[in-house]
Amino acid sequence: MPRTFRAVLAAFVLVLGWESSARAQDAPSQWGRLFPSVFLTSDYRYDGQSLNSHEPTVQASIYWWRPDNFYAGVWMSRVDFSDLGDPTTSFELEVYGGRNVRIGRTELTLEGMCSIFPDKNIPGPTYNFFTGKVRLRRSIGALTFATSLSGIPDAPYDGGPAVRVNEEASYRWAPWLKTGGQVGRRWSMRAVDRTFWDIGATTTWKKVSVDLRYSDTNLSVPQCGGVNWCEAGVGATLQIDLWR
């Protein structure tokens, strides 16, 4: 595991440990609180494409929520771009913030997110990019629908402006079992447009959740940079919430 990634992961672990020991003393506060989680996934996918060569990887997240429904967070994951000739880039950071607003029975989310690849060390355009997102979510009993519209001013590796639309649906069969999926379409000015989708189920027990999901895209191997990262596959993710 690269040294930089170990250092960042260690910082996450320290925060996770602090939150775990302090949560028993938490009282409602205008400052809100932290919600830390760790993950082990068999395949990290973004818009249907594997970003870790279909290999297992560790991830971590710290989410901060306030009673006025403002939120912010940091998420990190290992990545592996060596199949594309980049042996240097080893992890991704996402820093985001936004607000949830209730409009009747509908929840409106406005969010901005920066995706950063700190240890990229090869010539060429940056992988870093910013995403602005608007999301509408509504629940009818155990059924939940969501629609998202995202804009990227400059997609990774000089991909130019991009727009993404997502449709999501899920159904909670029991407090411990939920099924759902999504379908999305991304249009990019200087990159290959893509359609992506997934379907799966999530089961939860106390602090632990397990998600099993089938993912696919419409991209061929040549359209995916000559690698098999866009091919269909089944992935599993183990999530541990230290705030429960």
Tell me the C-alpha distance between 55 and 99, whole Å: 34
Q: What pTM does this model have?
A: 0.87
Structural domain boundaries enclosing 55: 3-241
Backbone angles phi, psi at 218, to 5 degrees: -95, 10
**What total number of domains does the chain contain?**
1
Please say whether the beta carbons of 138 and 111 come within 8 A: no
Other Cβ atoms less than 10 A from the Cβ of 25: the count is 6
The tally of CA atoms less than 13 A away on the side-chain side of residue 60 is: 17
Backbone angles phi, psi at 206, to 5 degrees: 55, -115
User: What is the CATH classification number for the domain harbouring 25?
Assistant: 2.40.160.40
Q: What is the largest CA-CA distance in the chain?
A: 55
Write out the DSSP string of 183-215: EEEEEESSS--EEEEEEEEEEEETTEEEEEEEE
Distances (CA, A) of 14 to 24, 32, 79, 91: 17, 19, 22, 19
Per-residue model confidence as pLDDT tens for the chain (244 residues): 555 555 555 545 544 554 444 453 454 567 899 999 999 999 999 999 999 999 999 999 999 999 999 999 999 999 999 999 999 999 999 999 999 999 999 999 999 999 999 999 999 899 999 999 999 999 999 999 999 999 999 999 899 999 999 999 999 999 999 999 999 999 999 999 999 999 999 999 999 999 999 999 999 999 999 999 999 999 999 999 998 7
